[in-house]
A and B are shown apart, each in its own frame.
Chain A
């Protein structure tokens, strides 16, 4: 946040799946992403027409950058937003990257029976804690970094809470969805002071993205 880039808008995009969909949307919205498509090993890209810098980062880092104001906007999945407790404006649902959080386990698992304190394995401990608290259920949460599906199979946990896209991984491992938690999609978040200091530029990008979204919708419909 130096003086010289006061008029530049910096956008952090989550690497990977979110990035691919975001680039499509940016192009449909008339924002130049050429540099992003031919990126090599670079991490910062520039669109000189709209004066936008793009940064590629991991989801949680996108939120950290937005929270600290080192970027103005971020594009990140709702899954990351729900897990990280940070401050920003969440202004737009980009409707891409749709999937859901679900609780899954072996077919005969009953989450709400018995006195035993359930063990839940997850990559998203905060989401799991909040969900089971909202159900009035006290559970023990075990953080898993990799394939969460292993936990109930190996007998480490009674169930898992994870992102479900197609359900194929669950099926292949003999697990079933026990309960859906919430839907997930990609969101646009904005730093709190950037929203005020660069209001016009930011709302302009929001409008461009909204138009891009309707353009893509009508393309699919047509």
Chain B
């Protein structure tokens, strides 16, 4: 039998060294940004019951979930999403809380993608939810939080596109067409296939009139600058559709007051997951990655399915895509601390540990050498591309080795570290 012990499953990866530190750094920057806006951390189980994700509200097909059985034969899944478990927590555990509640999380989610498509099956999501309020302020607050979180990571040239689920829903509702055709209409809108949409409407709508259907026919083209909303307003008299457009404008105005309007674009043709989203929908995109780095929206119906009627809005950032976008720009703000390896003999171990603590307090990274000789330590450091080694050979004497083509050294008095620190600040040309 083939043995897989030396391999990892498709769509997963091992993260090491710089790539790993960079990812954690991004996660921390995002979290820091959420926390500073009053979002509190939440961690839900990696394993949940399948039932949590199996309802009318679900946006993830069952074949895309990793399933297993517990010892009672119940179906479990590796969480394919974090918002649904948070809805479960909210409905079942937050009886005493003061609403609105603000949650933030960083969690890995698991989704089975088709094999060999090059898509990750384990993805890190960093996101927030505001639960218990449906208002323009909440919508704007969430989008602003998203913009600031991305900017906090050093990303500037991105756009958040805003749409409104109710705009398309209300246009579709007044349409005189058989229910089974509505899904095809929605799909053409999602694909921005305006030509096929037009043909299909002509064919299937019973009282087709170019004028009456002008909003629906134009939807695939209604994306771009904020003026798109005014353009859409002229195309319909549907009251609910107008309200949806007003909602976008109100949210936009607040974001504008925050000085962030330059990040906003509009796409009224965002019509995916209409059973799930119930108001503002938004996604962020940028150069350097073909997929969205952030997506979110208002989902007022979800928590109800767990037994408590509470409106909510949230977004999730795809940390891996964000990292890819940052890397394609060559950004890496990871601060490179002065790194040194400290070699000591047992005789001066107490001094060595004392010195290592002083170094760390002064924001050096100090790695204690695990080798028995100075020579081995120097060889190890050179291989690892570490440019500084310190050696404690005598009670009060520090020997500082620096690498520049070969190891050179200077000795310092341990009682007077100022000179030593000063020397480490000097950068040698390589």
- In this assembly, does B288 line the interface, its C-beta being within 8 Å of a C-beta of chain A? yes
Contact size class for B?
20 to 34
**A2 proximity list for chain B (CB < 8 A):** 328
Most A CB within 10 A of own CB, among B193, B194, B267, B286: B193
- In this assembly, does A158 line the interface, its C-beta being within 8 Å of a C-beta of chain B? no
Among candidates B117, B195, B287, B329, residue contacting A92 with C-beta atoms closer than 8 Å: B195
Give per-residue flags for A73-96: 1 if the beta carbon is below 8 A from chain B beta carbons, else 0.
Answer: 000000000000111111111000
Stretch at the interface among B17-25, B168-176, B289-297, B344-352: B289-297
Nearest Cβ distance between residue B253 and chain A, in whole angstroms? 22
Chain A interface helix/strand/loop/mixed? mixed
> Are A69 and B161 in contact, with the CB atoms below 8 A?
no
Nearest Cβ distance between residue A60 and chain B, in whole angstroms? 10
> Are A93 and B195 in contact, with the CB atoms below 8 A?
yes
Cα–Cα distance between A191 and B287 once the two chains are bound (Å): 12
Among candidates A3, A6, A193, residue contacting B290 with C-beta atoms closer than 8 Å: A193
Cα–Cα distance between A64 and B119 once the two chains are bound (Å): 11
> Are B287 and A93 in contact, with the CB atoms below 8 A?
no
Nearest Cβ distance between residue B19 and chain A, in whole angstroms? 19
- In this assembly, does A68 line the interface, its C-beta being within 8 Å of a C-beta of chain B? yes
Report if A3-B287 is in contact (Cβ < 8 Å); known contacts: A85-B114, A196-B159, A196-B267: yes
> Are B191 and A70 in contact, with the CB atoms below 8 A?
no
Report if A195-B192 is in contact (Cβ < 8 Å); known contacts: A2-B328, A3-B328: yes
Q: Which of B275-303 contact A (CB under 8 A)?
A: 285-292
Report if A196-B192 is in contact (Cβ < 8 Å); known contacts: A2-B328, A64-B118, A85-B114: no
Nearest Cβ distance between residue B423 and chain A, in whole angstroms? 39
Cα–Cα distance between A193 and B294 once the two chains are bound (Å): 12
Give per-residue flags for A43-76: 1 if the beta carbon is below 8 A from chain B beta carbons, else 0.
Answer: 0000000000000000000001001111000000
- In this assembly, does B265 line the interface, its C-beta being within 8 Å of a C-beta of chain A? yes
> Are B194 and A91 in contact, with the CB atoms below 8 A?
yes
- In this assembly, does B252 line the interface, its C-beta being within 8 Å of a C-beta of chain A? no
Report if A90-B193 is in contact (Cβ < 8 Å); known contacts: A64-B118, A196-B161: yes
Among candidates B196, B289, B290, residue contacting A93 with C-beta atoms closer than 8 Å: B196
Among candidates A6, A67, A88, A91, residue contacting B287 with C-beta atoms closer than 8 Å: A6
Cα–Cα distance between A194 and B291 once the two chains are bound (Å): 9
> Are B290 and A89 in contact, with the CB atoms below 8 A?
no
- In this assembly, does A151 line the interface, its C-beta being within 8 Å of a C-beta of chain B? no
Cα–Cα distance between A70 and B290 once the two chains are bound (Å): 7
> In the complex, what residue of chain A is closest to B114 when comparing beta carbons?
A85
> Are A1 and B118 in contact, with the CB atoms below 8 A?
no
- In this assembly, does A161 line the interface, its C-beta being within 8 Å of a C-beta of chain B? no
**B192 proximity list for chain A (CB < 8 A):** 89-91, 190, 195
Nearest Cβ distance between residue A170 and chain B, in whole angstroms? 29
- In this assembly, does A182 line the interface, its C-beta being within 8 Å of a C-beta of chain B? no
Nearest Cβ distance between residue B50 and chain A, in whole angstroms? 23
**A67 proximity list for chain B (CB < 8 A):** 117, 290
- In this assembly, does B38 line the interface, its C-beta being within 8 Å of a C-beta of chain A? no
Nearest Cβ distance between residue A212 and chain B, in whole angstroms? 14
How many residues belonging to A are interface residues under a CB distance threshold of 8 Å? 27
Nearest Cβ distance between residue A55 and chain B, in whole angstroms? 15
> Are A1 and B287 in contact, with the CB atoms below 8 A?
yes
Nearest Cβ distance between residue B402 and chain A, in whole angstroms? 36
Q: Which of A172-222 contact B (CB under 8 A)?
A: 190-197, 199
Give per-residue flags for A133-160: 1 if the beta carbon is below 8 A from chain B beta carbons, else 0.
Answer: 0000000000000000000000000000
**A89 proximity list for chain B (CB < 8 A):** 191-193
Most A CB within 10 A of own CB, among B194, B285, B288, B290: B290
Cα–Cα distance between A93 and B191 once the two chains are bound (Å): 12
- In this assembly, does B105 line the interface, its C-beta being within 8 Å of a C-beta of chain A? no
> In the complex, what residue of chain B is closest to A72 when comparing beta carbons?
B290
Report if A192-B291 is in contact (Cβ < 8 Å); known contacts: A90-B191, A197-B285: yes
Nearest Cβ distance between residue B152 and chain A, in whole angstroms? 22
Cα–Cα distance between A86 and B191 once the two chains are bound (Å): 11
Cα–Cα distance between A3 and B290 once the two chains are bound (Å): 14
Among candidates A3, A69, A92, A199, residue contacting B289 with C-beta atoms closer than 8 Å: A69
**A88 proximity list for chain B (CB < 8 A):** 191
**B195 proximity list for chain A (CB < 8 A):** 91-93
- In this assembly, does B307 line the interface, its C-beta being within 8 Å of a C-beta of chain A? no
- In this assembly, does B39 line the interface, its C-beta being within 8 Å of a C-beta of chain A? no
Cα–Cα distance between A197 and B265 once the two chains are bound (Å): 11
Cα–Cα distance between A195 and B223 once the two chains are bound (Å): 10
Report if A1-B328 is in contact (Cβ < 8 Å); known contacts: A64-B118, A190-B192, A197-B287: yes
Most A CB within 10 A of own CB, among B195, B265, B267: B195
**A90 proximity list for chain B (CB < 8 A):** 191-193, 196
Cα–Cα distance between A64 and B286 once the two chains are bound (Å): 19
**B286 proximity list for chain A (CB < 8 A):** 193, 197
> In the complex, what residue of chain B is closest to A195 when comparing beta carbons?
B192
> Are A91 and B289 in contact, with the CB atoms below 8 A?
no
Cα–Cα distance between A199 and B159 once the two chains are bound (Å): 13
- In this assembly, does B224 line the interface, its C-beta being within 8 Å of a C-beta of chain A? yes
> In the complex, what residue of chain A is closest to B191 when comparing beta carbons?
A90
A and B contact pairs by CB, cutoff 8 A, 27 listed: A1-B287, A6-B287, A64-B117, A64-B118, A67-B117, A67-B290, A69-B289, A69-B290, A69-B291, A85-B114, A86-B117, A87-B291, A89-B191, A89-B193, A91-B192, A91-B194, A91-B195, A93-B195, A93-B196, A192-B290, A192-B291, A193-B289, A193-B292, A196-B159, A196-B223, A197-B159, A197-B286
List residues of chain A with CB under 8 Å of any chain B CB: 1-3, 6, 64, 67-70, 85-93, 190-197, 199
- Known contacts A69-B289, A92-B195, then 20 further A-B pairs from the complex at CB < 8 Å, ordered by chain A residue: A1-B287, A1-B290, A2-B328, A3-B329, A68-B290, A70-B290, A89-B192, A90-B193, A91-B191, A93-B195, A93-B196, A192-B285, A192-B290, A192-B291, A192-B292, A193-B286, A193-B292, A194-B290, A196-B161, A196-B285
